[in-house]
Amino acid sequence: MPYLQIDHASKSFPSHTGEGEVCIFNDVTIKIEQGEFVTVIGHSGCGKSTLLNIIAGLDTASEGGVILEGKEVVGPGLDRMVVFQNFSLMPWMTVFENIALAVRSAYPDWSQTQVAAHVNKYIALVGLKGAETKRPTALSGGMKQRVGLARAFSIEPKVLLLDEPFAQIDALTRGVIQEELIQMWNASRNTVFMVTHDVDEAILLSDRILLMTNGPSARVGEIVEVSIPRPRSRESVIEHPHYYKIRNHVIHFLVRHAAHVGRGESGAGGSGDAPVLVQFS
């Protein structure tokens, strides 16, 4: 039994013409072990973010479901924290208050001083010392997402869900925060499910990359193992002989096969086929 399993999940929306339904993804099964970092890449509209929201409990699958530690996931909870693409910090709260809101919810028995110490620890961890009393408006995109990461890590969730966390951050800052994320994750070793468009980001961070075919009726087409040993850094990964093999493979899939596989499978009616496992050695 895997730690986190997305079990035969499908999602359909009523089509905008009002006739019938549009199937976003169909019969998706993903098994994730504890402490694993798994990334999903796919074109827009393949339902990556919907999948993440279903794991978070913010959305429900039309069929199938999510099992965490042998129990079915019903609704959102503190064991599955999301880092949002648009940060989703409360603009009326300071940096400290935003994180403290989460910490107080996760540890309701803690005293004020315990909460403050915990919050300050995570503020220091993301290098935001001195910005505790600032409001999100006064922060740059990179700093906002640092607060988002600090908030997510501070409640020590079983599963961390990253929804294109660095998409709105400039490329240089993105690299820095990616390495900060690696350091925090090395210390905490949460199970991570990330959704991204960025192939380099996926290779740098993940143990496995799931490639989704195009929607409608998207599914996991291939699973690529990132066979680059940790610890990784932006500089070291690109030196590794597998880096460009993996990168080329992923981009090939996205450009050539994503549409082809999806269409072929749905036409044949065999969308339940297991995804192809890709390993480099």
| Nearest to 57, CA basis, from 48, 67, 70, 47 | 67
Closer residue to other proteins in complex, CB, 80/242 = 80
Residue 123, H or E segment:
helix 112-125
Main-chain phi, psi angles of 94, to 5 degrees: -75, 170
- The answer to whether 102 contacts other proteins (rule: CB under 8 A) is yes
Question: Residue 45 and residue 90: Cα distance in Å, rounded?
Answer: 28
- The answer to whether 101 contacts other proteins (rule: CB under 8 A) is yes
Q: How many residues bind other proteins (CB under 8 A)?
A: 24
Judge contact between 81 and 152, C-beta under 8 A. Answer: yes
The residues, any chain, with a CB within 8 Å of residue 244's CB and separated by 6 or more, are none
Q: How far is the CB of 211 from other proteins (least distance, A)?
A: 27
Q: How far is the CB of 166 from other proteins (least distance, A)?
A: 17
Question: Residue 168 and residue 166: Cα distance in Å, rounded?
Answer: 6
- The answer to whether 71 contacts other proteins (rule: CB under 8 A) is no
**Residue selected from 44, 45, 78, 114 as contacting other proteins according to rule CB under 8 A:** 78
257: Cα within 13 Å, side-chain hemisphere: 16
Q: How far is the CB of 87 from other proteins (least distance, A)?
A: 8
Q: How many angstroms separate the Cα of 119 from the Cα of each of 97, 186, 195?
A: 9, 19, 27
Q: How far is the CB of 81 from other proteins (least distance, A)?
A: 6
- The answer to whether 18 contacts other proteins (rule: CB under 8 A) is no
- The answer to whether 88 contacts other proteins (rule: CB under 8 A) is yes
- The answer to whether 158 contacts other proteins (rule: CB under 8 A) is no
The residues, any chain, with a CB within 8 Å of residue 156's CB and separated by 6 or more, are 106, 188, 190
- The answer to whether 137 contacts other proteins (rule: CB under 8 A) is yes
- The answer to whether 276 contacts other proteins (rule: CB under 8 A) is no
Closer residue to other proteins in complex, CB, 57/64 = 57
- The answer to whether 105 contacts other proteins (rule: CB under 8 A) is yes
Q: How far is the CB of 80 from other proteins (least distance, A)?
A: 7
Euclidean distance between the first and final Cα of the chain, in Å? 27
Closer residue to other proteins in complex, CB, 157/275 = 157
Positions in the binding site for other proteins (CB under 8 A): 56-58, 75-78, 80-82, 84, 86, 88, 90-93, 101-102, 105-106, 135, 137, 155
